[in-house]
Structure formats: C-alpha cells, structure tokens
C-alpha cells in the first residue's frame, strides 16, 4: 500500500506530472506547512488561525516568498519552479499575472519536493520563508 504521508517518487516520475499537477499538490503541502507553523508559534483562536492562514497562502504573499527563495534554489529546484511559473493559468482578480505565476511556481516546487520525498529540503526552504 502506498504511504501518501511519506512520498518518495523517482525524479522521472515526478517530472512526468503536469506543471499544474505539481502546483496542485504543492498548494496543499504549502498550506499544511503554514497551518502547522501558525499552530506551533502561539496560542491563537480558530478565527485568528484562519485569518493568518489566508494571509500566508494568498498569491500575493506566495509571490513575495517565491522571490525570497529564488537565490536559495538548486538548478533542479529552479527547473521545477519555472515549470509552475510558466504554466497556463487563469489569474484571479486578487493578484497580478506575474504574482500568480510566481505563486504557482512556488507551489510546483513544493509539490515536486514533497513527491520526491525531500522533506528535509522542503522544511529548510519553508523555514527560510518564515524567518523574519
């Protein structure tokens, strides 16, 4: 039986997933990391947890985080990021096309790292985002 909490797909299999498929997985991974970080970093009500989660997962914030991460990425990670950034997307009114592309790139990167079983690197990059 596949353990979906401990993914460890070979690179070729991860690379075979569509750009938006990687972003789809990465969106969930990123949100779970944000929710976990918020719960660990203080006593908050459900209302403030929800509000703060929304603030972290919106495309404009993800775009800001993506720009912060770019200098830290390896060549392979840049490739996954570019795949998401260059995906054909419908842009919501809450972000510019460039912001949404950067956010999708971040999600694709997080999806690829998760599916590859590279939790340590994923955690390292997420921690870099959250440090002030």
Catalytic annotation present for 15: no
Cα–Cα nearest to 87, from 102, 72, 69: 102
> Encoding tokens for residue 68?
């912060």
Q: Which of 15, 27, 43, 52 is catalytic?
A: 27
d(CA 28, CA 15) in angstroms, rounded, equals 19
Contact call for residues 102 and 62 (beta carbons, < 8 A): yes
Catalytic residues: 27
């Amino acid at each position: 039986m596949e353990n979906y909490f401990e993914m460890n797909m070979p690179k070729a299999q991860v690379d075979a997933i569509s750009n938006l498929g990687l972003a789809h997985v990465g969106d969930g991974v990123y949100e779970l990391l944000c929710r976990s970080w918020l719960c660990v970093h203080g006593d908050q009500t459900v209302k403030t947890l929800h509000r703060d989660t929304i603030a972290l997962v919106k495309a404009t914030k993800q775009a800001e985080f993506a720009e912060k991460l770019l200098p830290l990425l390896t060549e392979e990670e840049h490739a996954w990021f570019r795949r998401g950034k260059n995906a054909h997307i419908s842009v919501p009114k809450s972000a510019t096309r460039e912001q949404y592309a950067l956010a999708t790139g971040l999600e694709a990167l997080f999806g690829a790292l998760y599916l590859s079983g590279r939790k340590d690197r994923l955690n390292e990059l997420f921690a870099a985002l959250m440090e002030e």
